[in-house]
Structure 1
Amino acid sequence: MVRKNGLGKGLDSLIPSTGHKKAAPAKPEVKKEVVVEKVIKKEEVMVKITEVEPNREQPRKNFNEDALLELADSIKQFGIIQPLVVQKQDDYYEIIAGERRWRAAKLAGLKEVPVIIKNYTEQERVEIALIENIQREDLNPIEEAMAFKRLLTEFDLKQDELAERVSKSRTAVTNSMRLLKLDERVQQMVVDEKISTGHARALLAVGDKEQQYNLANKIFDEKLSVRETERLMKNLQKEKKDKKDQKAENEFIYKGIEEKIKMILGTKVTVNHKKNNKGRIEIEYYSNEELERIMDLLESIHQEA
């Protein structure tokens, strides 16, 4: 399997430096690459694997065990080719990028791992972890959406800025975060790969979360395709619209009946229609004399009938 590039030298363009150092004089491209290579080699150090711990805010929560075992076998043969990026905490090194390599190294029985020690802000740590996982396609759709949301809400980024940082379109970021509007049980079904993101996006047409979950189970049980799910959603929307139109038509009819009774009785009348063609008629009166008038009127109507 071809491994996608990790953070590498493209990181600086994605996450601008927060320092205030003056820029170095421009150098030819070839020389610049050589200088960067030397700096990386100088910064790379070996530390005990027991002194390294994962970042608790790492967007990725799920790791494929089979893939980890394959990587562990590779590490046994060739070692860790790309060092971990870490930040020094009080008594340990926190992983900024490379948790998967660290887990595989533990499985491989390594006592030490190569690291590059950096000093990042909280926002930069989240961005780097997110970018690395996105580039490697390691995040499931819900993890990615939650990471996007965190960057937007906690660090006051705009969607355009976020999209540029993670090299995705603004539409892709928006569609990703829309998945978080789904019922949590449906989100878990996406994580467990019981339904796809295509199925999940179709379910967003349903506002009721209990109905979302029931439909998600129907999709899973009946193995519906995304196209079939979209047709199902359209049919449900049509049924909902037909019911709404029927309700509006009924309301128009009963309003007309109210007006007729008002004209006959000369007082305010309310027709409360319920299910199964049942309901209640309320006739208001404002004095005993008016009540007697209404009674006399009803009696005369009854006698004529």
Structure 2
Amino acid sequence: MRQRVPHFARTQKMQTPTVVVGKIRPGRNPRKYFDPAEMAELTESVRVNGVLQSLLIRPVEEDESGREYEVVAGERRYRAALSAHGEDYPVPVIIKAMTDAEADSFALIENIQRADMAPSEEAVQAAKIVGWLQGDRDEAARQLGWSRSTLDKRLALMNCSESVLEALNTRTIQLGHAELLATLEKGTQDKLLPVIVSEKKAVAELKKTIEAAACSLEKAIFEKTQCTTCQHNSSLQTEMFGEAIATGNCTNRACYTEKTDRKLEGIAYGLKDEYQVIRIVRAGDNETRVQLLVEGPTGVGEEQAKACHGCQNFGAAVSGLPGSLGKVYGGQCFDTACNSQKVAARIKAERDAKAATQAPASSSSSSDKPATAKGAAGKATAPAEKPVTSISESEKVKAYRTDVWRKALRKEVAQNAELANAYLISIALHGLARTITGDTMGKFFEKLTEQKASSTFPGCLTAVQALDPGKRQQLTVATTVAAIDGMDVTSLRDLCRYHKLDLKLHWNLQKAQDFLEMLTKSEMKVLADELGIRKALGDGFAKLFNKSKPEVIAGLLAVDGFDYTGKVPKVLGF
């Protein structure tokens, strides 16, 4: 007799989607160590009972193996199902579209809520989340449900060497061991690790050893003249005490750290003319930045790389890590999510262009099919959208731009009394007349009449009534100018557009040294590309930008044979 399936079970089966294991790939799990005994037990359970709890997966671009989903949560079940039943086995799933950042965050939170996840595994994933959040540790801690202190301690583990992280993953050493080793250079960590394991050194014993060698004066990056006679110099302590710490170290960690931090800040300050962003990177900040590359699997492409130099997230990293203390890494992108999108766009554009050039000739000649992307010369005529190469809208650039708009608009309105009168009525109708202040009008009145405005309303009425019509008309124009001065940026932009203000008549790079002075050298490169100065300089471009910022500015303002007329940066437009 056929076994009757309960109605509830049949309903559940219909409602729960399944995907065969072979269509799914691992990828988001921060857990790297899987206890062999526990995995064997789970695999046997899945062999007998199947997968009872759904995997959380997300759709991804299909890879060469035909896998079009990625595990976000449930990799142990995924592995057990693959081992027990093979690639054709259907597993219950919950399919949810997620960004990389959302998937990383969800995977870590899901694993934290389960037992026995190694702190090193938490650290690796937490660093990714901090990277997606562009270094905002407070927001990362909030999303993870951790205190800021817990997050910082986990991120500090990111300075551990691979072997130390693996030892912590497999529970060969304790968390305390790893936290202490993280303060040392990775080469030193690898030398100490076998000793710790073989001699089973306690955390307290290791702490004493590491504190003795942590503040090496030989490797200090700050000026050490005062250290030679300091009582905290262990070289001097050797003479004072029979037993001393290792020679050539500072025993005053607070002072050593303060001097190191001051030196790092000085290095960062020295780069302010070169880059938009300069950050001192510490343990755990490794995912907050990525080297901007032009070519290769992680390259953004030549045109996009030029555009990236003008981005407000482009800059340099100053290392605050043992082993590379004070080292500067230029050409850094501090928006890793954007960088990954640009890399993916470049790869897709190259793949599409390649597919277009390899398309059969018949496909382009067929009248009932759309034309391919091949031009007369056989090259693709529909490339990816060209990156916008322009300076980013930083707050200082916005302020400068607004000032340019106001000055240009004031000048044109001041020359047309009839237009000024029409604009003034419009301004009053829209309720913007409140931006006209008595102080501003008083200055205009004094300039036109050579007398101070009255402090009383009747006095103002009398004074204005006594003016000849020409002077009153001039004051009406001045009132419009005063309104433009006080107008909010949105209304100012609307007025500029209505007026069809042509900035080419009012702004010229040769007269705008103040504009260049607010830019970094990286942003100036983008400006030179946009305006055609790089091309005009030719081989002299690189030579110019190897000079100091004032010399670069002087060079950009005096390019032989270059016509500056009408060259207005896109960032100044409205």
TM-score class, shorter-chain normalisation, is 0.5 to 0.7
- Aligned match of 1:216 in 193, 197, 220? 193
Q: Residue 36 of structure 2 corresponds to which residue in structure 1? A: 65
| Contact in 1 for aligned 2:16/2:93 (Cα 8 Å) | yes
Q: Equivalent residue of 1:224, what SS?
A: coil
Displacement, 1:68? 1.5
1:28-80 deviation digits (Å, cap 9, x = unpaired): xxxxxxxxxxxx9876212222222212x432333223211111222234332
Cα 1:223/1:59, change in 2 over 3 Å: same
Q: Equivalent residue of 1:60, what SS?
A: coil
Q: Residue 73 of structure 2 corresponds to which residue in structure 1? A: 97
Q: Equivalent residue of 1:168, what SS?
A: coil
In structure 2, list runs of 5 or more residues that go unmatched: 1-11, 63-67, 218-231, 241-574
Displacement, 1:180? 1.4
Bigger helix share: 1
Q: Residue 109 of structure 1 corresponds to which residue in structure 2? A: 85
Q: Equivalent residue of 2:194, what SS?
A: helix
Aligned AA (1:184)? E
Cα 1:152/1:42, change in 2 over 3 Å: farther
CA distance in 2, matches of 1:211, 1:88: 43
CA distance in 2, matches of 1:155, 1:248: 51
CA distance in 2, matches of 1:234, 1:189: 22
1:78-127 deviation digits (Å, cap 9, x = unpaired): 33221011122344222121111111112221611001111112211111
Aligned AA (2:234)? K
Displacement, 1:215? 2.5
Cα 1:132/1:42, change in 2 over 3 Å: farther
Q: Equivalent residue of 2:72, what SS?
A: strand
Aligned AA (1:45)? P
- Aligned match of 1:82 in 35, 38, 53? 53
TM-score, length basis structure 2: 0.33
Q: Which deviates more, 184-193 or 105-114?
A: 184-193
Q: Specify which structure has the bigger relative contact order, considering alpha-carbon pairs within 8 angstroms and separated by 6 or more residues.
A: 1
Aligned AA (1:67)? E
| Contact in 2 for aligned 1:43/1:117 (Cα 8 Å) | no
In structure 1, list runs of 5 or more residues that go unmatched: 1-39, 250-305
CA distance in 2, matches of 1:87, 1:209: 36
Q: Equivalent residue of 1:199, what SS?
A: helix
Cα 1:196/1:42, change in 2 over 3 Å: same
Matches within 5 A, 1:93-242: 93-109=69-85, 111-137=89-115, 139-156=117-134, 158-205=136-183, 207-236=184-213, 241-242=232-233
CA distance in 2, matches of 1:127, 1:112: 26
| Contact in 1 for aligned 2:20/2:90 (Cα 8 Å) | yes
Cα 1:191/1:43, change in 2 over 3 Å: same
Matches within 5 A, 1:264-275: none
Q: Equivalent residue of 1:85, what SS?
A: strand
- Aligned match of 2:26 in 29, 51, 54? 54
Displacement, 1:156? 2.1
Aligned-pair identity in percent equals 32
CA distance in 2, matches of 1:203, 1:94: 34
| Contact in 1 for aligned 2:43/2:80 (Cα 8 Å) | yes
Cα 1:97/1:43, change in 2 over 3 Å: farther
Cα 1:178/1:239, change in 2 over 3 Å: closer
Aligned AA (1:175)? K
- In angstroms, what is the RMSD of aligned CA positions? 3.2
Aligned AA (2:203)? V
CA distance in 2, matches of 1:237, 1:138: 31
